[in-house]
Structures are given as C-alpha cells and as structure tokens.
C-alpha cells in the first residue's frame, strides 16, 4: 500500500523528520529588505565620512555653519536608519508539528509566541478578504500575514487550513 502524497505548498516548506519528531510544515513570512542592517551600518559610516569630510573642508575655508548642519543631517539620517534596522528582521514563523500549531511573531526585536492545539485551531479570514489572517483557539488569537501581499493572504489561509486537515 502506498503512502498518500503530501500536498504541494506555495508558502510552506516541509522539514525532514528526525528519530524524535514527525515531519513539520513551516511557514516563514519575512519582511522584504533590500539591504541588511549590517550593510546599512557600513553605508551610514561611509556617508558620515564623506559628509564630514566635505563639511570639514568648508569649515576650514571659513564657512563655520556648515559643520553643525552636517552633524544635524547625520543625526537625522542615523535615526531614520535605526528605525529601519530595528524592523528589518521582523517576521512571522508558523510551524505545524506533533499536533501543535506554533505561531511566533517578531517585531522590533520582541518575540511573541502562541501555541494552538491542531484540533481546536481556526484560521480566518474567508476567501477574497485581504485582511490579516486570524489564528484562534482555546480563547487566544493572533494575527498573521503582515509580510504577505493582501491579495495573497486568502491563499496562505487556505494553505494553512489544508495542512491542518491533512495531518
């Protein structure tokens, strides 16, 4: 007798089981970043060197107000880069394994974790709704899908429901 073929997933990956656990389905939903925080830090350092070098040249030529404005500019740009870097690692991890659906949300370095019994979990919204997906059960709920385009959220919700039913 052959094993049933696991469903094909668009957003999820299947992990290979080891001797202690069963196969897991995992969804990693990350923010799309064009530059990492480390690359941003190096870019900011180079920006500081160039900007302060130019300001120092004009300051030495007698334009004394150039230096304070250069520092003000670099502080403002640095604050904006810091806000970006804090949220560059934001993401959502959803794992279905051993009868549990585990949802981990990371926002600005803070981690929120919720565990739901597979048999009692509900996945909303219904098809066609671009709202965040609500995962609820046992009196708790969490919303996921922030890093998925709104038109793809119903497909993600269907995929999670399919995985819950298939296990």
pLDDT one-digit tens code per residue, 108-130: 889 999 999 999 999 987 656 67
Cα–Cα distance measured from residue 131 to residue 154, given in angstroms and rounded to the nearest whole number: 9
Apex 165 CA angle, 160 and 167, nearest 5: 100
Based on the fold, state whether residues 95 and 110 are members of the same structural domain: yes
In a domain, 8, yes or no: no
In a domain, 134, yes or no: yes
Q: Which of 69, 88, 107 is the last residue of a domain?
A: 88
Based on the fold, state whether residues 94 and 117 are members of the same structural domain: yes
In a domain, 65, yes or no: yes
Say what the pLDDT of residue 33 is.
Answer: 81
Query: How many structural domains is the chain composed of?
Result: 2
Cα–Cα distance measured from residue 54 to residue 66, given in angstroms and rounded to the nearest whole number: 9
From the list 29, 24, 62, 11, the residue with the least C-alpha distance to 147 is 29
Compare 4 and 102 and report the one with higher pLDDT: 102
Residue 5 confidence (pLDDT) above 70: no
In a domain, 59, yes or no: yes
Based on the fold, state whether residues 59 and 120 are members of the same structural domain: no
Cα–Cα distance measured from residue 148 to residue 135, given in angstroms and rounded to the nearest whole number: 15
DSSP state, residue 141: E
pTM, two decimals, is: 0.73
Based on the fold, state whether residues 27 and 66 are members of the same structural domain: no
Based on the fold, state whether residues 118 and 69 are members of the same structural domain: no
């Amino acid at each position: 007798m052959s094993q049933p073929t696991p469903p094909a997933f668009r957003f999820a990956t299947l992990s290979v089981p080891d001797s202690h656990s069963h196969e897991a389905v995992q969804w990693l939903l990350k923010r799309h970043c064009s530059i990492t925080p480390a690359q941003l830090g190096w870019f900011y350092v180079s920006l500081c060197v160039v900007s302060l070098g130019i300001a120092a040249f004009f300051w030495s030529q007698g334009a004394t107000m150039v230096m304070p404005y250069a520092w003000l500019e670099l502080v403002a740009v640095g604050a904006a880069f810091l806000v970006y870097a804090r949220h560059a690692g934001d993401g959502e991890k959803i794992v279905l394994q051993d009868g549990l659906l585990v949802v981990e949300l990371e926002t600005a370095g803070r981690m929120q974790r919720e565990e739901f019994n597979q048999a009692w979990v509900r996945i909303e919204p219904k098809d066609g709704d671009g709202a965040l997906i609500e995962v609820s059960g046992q009196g708790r709920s969490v919303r996921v899908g922030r890093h998925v385009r709104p038109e793809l959220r119903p497909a993600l919700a269907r995929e999670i429901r399919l995985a819950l039913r298939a296990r």
